[in-house]
Chains A and B, each alone.
Chain A
Amino acid sequence: EAGVAQSPRYKIIEKRQSVAFWCNPISGHATLYWYQQILGQGPKLLIQFQNNGVVDDSQLPKDRFSAERLKGVDSTLKIQPAKLEDSAVYLCASSLIVGTHEQYFGPGTRLTVT
Chain B
Amino acid sequence: AQSVTQLDSQVPVFEEAPVELRCNYSSSVSVYLFWYVQYPNQGLQLLLKYLSGSTLVKGINGFEAEFNKSQTSFHLRKPSVHISDTAEYFCAVTPNDYKLSFGAGTTVTVRA
Contacts and interface: CB of A to CB of B under 8 A. Distances in A.
Interface of A: 3-4, 31, 40-45, 48, 56, 91, 93, 95, 98-108
Contact of A42 (B46, B51, B90, B94): B90
B84 to A, nearest CB: 18
Nearest to A99: B97
Nearest to B50: A101
A107 B42 contact: yes
B32 interface: yes
A91 B43 contact: yes
Interface of B: 4, 32, 34, 36, 41-46, 49, 51, 90, 92, 94, 96-105
Contacts, number: 58
Given A91-B44, A101-B32, A107-B43, A45 B90 contact: no
Give the residue among B41, B46, B96, B98 with the most A Cβ atoms within 10 A. Answer: B98
Given A48-B99, A56-B99, 15 more contacts: A3-B43, A4-B43, A40-B105, A41-B102, A42-B92, A42-B102, A43-B102, A45-B99, A93-B43, A95-B98, A99-B96, A101-B32, A102-B46, A105-B36, A105-B45
Nearest to B46: A102
21 contacts: A31-B98, A40-B104, A40-B105, A41-B102, A41-B104, A42-B101, A43-B100, A43-B102, A44-B102, A48-B99, A56-B99, A93-B44, A95-B98, A98-B98, A99-B97, A99-B98, A101-B98, A103-B100, A104-B43, A106-B43, A107-B42
Contacts of B41: 107
Contacts of A106: 43
A31 B99 CA distance: 12
B28 to A, nearest CB: 18
A96 to B, nearest CB: 11
A83 B4 CA distance: 27
A101 B103 CA distance: 17
Nearest to B92: A42
